[in-house]
Amino acid sequence: MPIKVGHDSAGTRKTLTAGGASVAYYSIPAAEAAGLGTFSRLPAALKVVLENMLRFEDGKTVTTDDIRAFSDWADQGGQNPREIAYRPARVLMQDFTGVPAVVDLAAMRDGIVALGGNAQQINPLNPVDLVIDHSVMIDEFGNPRAFQMNVDREYERNMERYTFLKWGQKAFDNFRVVPPGTGICHQVNLEYLAQTVWTDTDQTGETVAYPDTLVGTDSHTTMVNGLAVLGWGVGGIEAEAAMLGQPVSMLIPEVIGFKLTGAMREGTTATDLVLKVVQMLRQKGVVGKFVEFYGPGLDTVPLADRATIGNMAPEYGATCGFFPIDDETLRYLRLTGRDEDRIALVEAYAKENGMWRGPDYDPVYTDTLELDMGDVVPAISGPKRPQDHIALDRAAANFAEYVRGQREGKDAGPTAEIRWEGEGGSPEPRDIPGDEGHHKRAFVDDGKGGYQLHDGSVVIASITSCTNTSNPYVMIGAGLVARKARELGLDRKPWVKTSLAPGSQVVSAYLEAAGLQEDLDAIGFNLVGYGCTTCIGNSGPLDPAISKTINEADLIATSVLSGNRNFEGRIHADVRANYLASPPLVVIYALAGDMNIDVTKDPIAQTPDGKDVFLADLWPSQAEIADLVERTVTRESFQSKYADVFKGDEKWQQVETTDSETYDWPPSSTYVQNPPYFRDMGAEPGEITNIEGARILAILGDMVTTDHISPAGSFKETTPAGRYLVDRQVPVREFNSYGSRRGNHEVMMRGTFANIRIRNEMLDGVEGGYTLGPDGAQTSIFDAAMAYQAEGTPLVIFGGEQYGAGSSRDWAAKGTNLLGVKAVIAENFERIHRSNLVGMGVIPFEFTGGDTRKSLGLKGDETVSIAGLDSVTPQAEVPCTIAFADGSTKTITLRCRIDTAIEKEYIEHGGVLHYVLRDLASRSAIAAE
């Protein structure tokens, strides 16, 4: 359906001819000529937002004052936090976050019918692409059957979800599904969907060119910033609103300029660069800000490396990490099979509208920082935060320090050993470098002589995630390490679960063309699937003997993965220390099998004839990598692999579904259920009311991520979610993961705040989703919340710094809402989760005046009342009275993080979807009169 542009009162609409065609566009130089301000020195990322204002200027939602505000931004040193209404061109989803979004759309169709409207009013107004990439689990690995067996299990587990998504593809306009086994959404977006400059017809029938922009239901949507496409992750709730025509309410952001100079030196990779960038920007503090990369160093940074840096914007806390259009952008568009006319349009448009990065590119930034890429060293990050950068030559020592910290005060001496009994004898314990009596050891007998496990044994080595598998330089590098290892007769250590999950089928094409897949197969890195695997906790089970040994001996097992997240409890329940590394280093650690080995100087392994093998014997040169990339990564391979991207394999084509406007919810389904958000919803909104006599459900610490809050990964039959499935005769083997069951609110609300590593400070030293119930006894958070709901008692959550960091998990907010939580009070919030809470009708508050949960001495038995909400304004300060168990009270001041006027309306309606639904129903009623 055509885009509806504004009325262009300033006369900025012009015509551009490129690629043999003429198109309309909205000109930033013309806005200057019309006297709306001076925009020439705005950063390219901000010019994209400015163009959005020009195109949608209508005198109401977007005004000429909004446009002038961008000139003021430049005049005021890169600051002017004016609220604006921004409309992205399209929406990108993956299936974990996309299924609940489609569930909500289906429920909204039911809801609007109940309000007297038409089901067809609920349709995406902007194009939506959903890529099924989060459902493959690594059950099988290290053999030629792994890919097909994992695919078969994926369909067995997820047929209910896939049937539902196929129904959605038929039922909704403007909605496409990329089938499973194609690739990771961000890589498919980068390699195929994104156009850098988008075209569409407007309400007059004329073709309009404008910057390709999007929001996505996955935080790593920012990867496409490397292709000069402005996009970032939002919660599923906010994405649904954008799909339905609601603008994204935002403040004109600060833009931090990151100047790159110099060039990467021999032996370093794009991963090393991005891990350094993450560390620097986290230290700088860029939460809620745009980061734009510039400087002469960009001339040597290929687009694949730029995409790697853009991908990890959530890890350095920025809204996006943007790279302007330049010659490298055009080269990549050509390499990946984009149409030549489109490439010509991208170049002409960028130059005409001041978005081209040439030698004289020198915009105004809010602030800057600089990195000489020649200073970047090989590195990893961990063991539990992406920003914890460790130079590779310090990795072993750093791990030893981590173990000492974990073991301090515990019986962790060398006698803390457990044997896993089996056939044959066990080997003698070997020395652990840096042990000093802190490391625990245990033995596993595999029937072949056995092996020792200890703190630091690498039990998972996974080349996974969109972050690095999109980059042919590091993937070819990993293949060359495998080739050299194979030539020397090396293999992965027997306790290491190895896997290769590329971001797209193109990766397999060039690995096979280079002959490197055979080398990777030879040391256990067989293809396990195309999609997000270990990086989101879809690691699959470890060998039962290894799992039992780790748990009985309380070992600190480790993983090394080429992903972007390594939060506690995320990768695997048996693995406590997780490290992010480049794909070549993942192979190195699979061969070493031990984090205690200093891979920069110690022998990594031995050849069959007993010769030590060192890093230098295995590491390829940049020239070797570049030569193979040049020969095997071709335009033809991209065109071939994406020729039928929406068709899918035979299994997808055989998925059957029905044709109907509304969904026939299967009552027995444990994957897809009609959510309760719109039941008994009236036509009019309510009012924001004060919170009185609320009890505390949890007191949480700093850096509580959405992985801690939102259900993710596997779960046991003893958990509330597990008991729910067992009661419905679902065998444990068929539990699948929380992520795969995001379409069932009954499972998800039972898993909210149930992460195995979450620590509720109301309890002493207890990990997991527990709290105190109304009777004062320890119970699960879900059971306590249901008991409080039965009493009619509202609930609040207290948190520390960076509350809600990490992935854009809408269920972190949805689950909070369904548990009956009315407010979350923290020191500060990460951007996406704060927005999601508002979108679900939960009010975020921040402490003021130096107050914290610690300074207040909260124990969890207090009651909380918050006044001033019945007349609250955006970002107002309101009084909060805390009544302590001894009868004393204290009143503190909180800042209400309802940030904008439209967000206040969302809260009044009970959430953004309720707001949209009532608005559409109202329009339908007016049209019927």
What is the domain extent for residue 698? Answer: 691-710+752-909
Please report whether residue 582 resides in a domain: yes
Residue with the bigger pLDDT between 741 and 449: it is: 741
- Cis peptide leading into 253, omega within 30 of 0? no
Q: How confident is the model at residue 738 (pLDDT cuts 50, 70, 90)?
A: confident
Output the pLDDT for position 98.
84
Res. 428: pLDDT tops 50: no
Q: What is the pLDDT of residues 354-407, one digit of tens each?
A: 999 999 999 999 999 999 999 999 999 999 888 899 999 999 999 999 998 888
Output the pLDDT for position 680.
83
Residues 774 and 877 in one domain: yes
Residues 610 and 703 in one domain: no
Res. 417: pLDDT tops 70: no
Res. 125: pLDDT tops 70: yes
| Residue carrying structure tokens 């919660």 | 235
Phi (first) and psi of residue 634, to 5 degrees: -120, 155
**DSSP code of residue 871:** G
Please report whether residue 131 resides in a domain: no
Q: What is the pLDDT of residues 869-927, one digit of tens each?
A: 999 999 999 999 999 999 999 999 999 999 888 899 999 999 988 998 898 888 766 55
Please report whether residue 414 resides in a domain: yes
Please report whether residue 673 resides in a domain: no
Please report whether residue 264 resides in a domain: no
Residues 705 and 563 in one domain: no
The first and second tokens of residue 898, run together, are: 């309802």
Residues 756 and 903 in one domain: yes
Please report whether residue 550 resides in a domain: yes
Output the pLDDT for position 79.
95
Output the pLDDT for position 432.
63
Residues 478 and 606 in one domain: yes
DSSP SS3 for 503: coil
Please state the domain count of the chain: 2
Q: What is the pLDDT of residues 295-338, one digit of tens each?
A: 999 999 999 999 999 999 988 989 999 999 999 999 999 999 99
Average pLDDT over residues 104-132: 91
Output the pLDDT for position 385.
87
Residues 802 and 871 in one domain: yes
Q: What is the pLDDT of residues 469-520, one digit of tens each?
A: 888 999 999 999 999 999 999 999 999 999 999 999 999 999 999 999 999 9
Res. 415: pLDDT tops 60: no
Contact partners, residue 744, CB within 8 Å, separation at least 6 = 669, 670, 671, 672, 673
What value does the mean pLDDT of the chain take? Answer: 91
Residues 844 and 704 in one domain: yes
Output the pLDDT for position 431.
57
Q: What is the pLDDT of residues 230-283, one digit of tens each?
A: 999 987 778 888 888 888 888 899 999 999 999 999 999 999 999 999 999 999
Q: What is the pLDDT of residues 535-566, one digit of tens each?
A: 777 788 899 999 999 999 999 999 999 988 78
Please report whether residue 661 resides in a domain: no
Looking at the DSSP bridge assignments, the partners of residue 881 are: 865, 891
Which CATH number do you get for residue 819? Answer: 3.20.19.10
Q: What is the pLDDT of residues 814-861, one digit of tens each?
A: 999 999 999 999 999 987 789 889 999 999 999 999 999 999 999 999
Contacts of 682-688 with C-beta under 8 Å, sequence gap 24+, read: 683/115, 683/918, 683/921, 683/922, 684/918, 685/905, 685/908, 685/909, 685/910, 685/914, 685/915, 685/918, 686/908, 686/909, 686/910, 687/870, 687/908, 688/843, 688/869, 688/870, 688/872, 688/904, 688/907, 688/908
Output the pLDDT for position 424.
33
Residue with the bigger pLDDT between 108 and 422: it is: 108
Residues 413 and 516 in one domain: yes
Looking at the DSSP bridge assignments, the partners of residue 372 are: 261
- Answer with the one of 591, 610, 636 that is the final residue of a domain: 636
Residues 618 and 696 in one domain: no
Residues 543 and 477 in one domain: yes
Q: How many C-beta atoms lie closer than 10 Å to residue 251's C-beta?
A: 13
Output the pLDDT for position 801.
95
Please report whether residue 668 resides in a domain: no
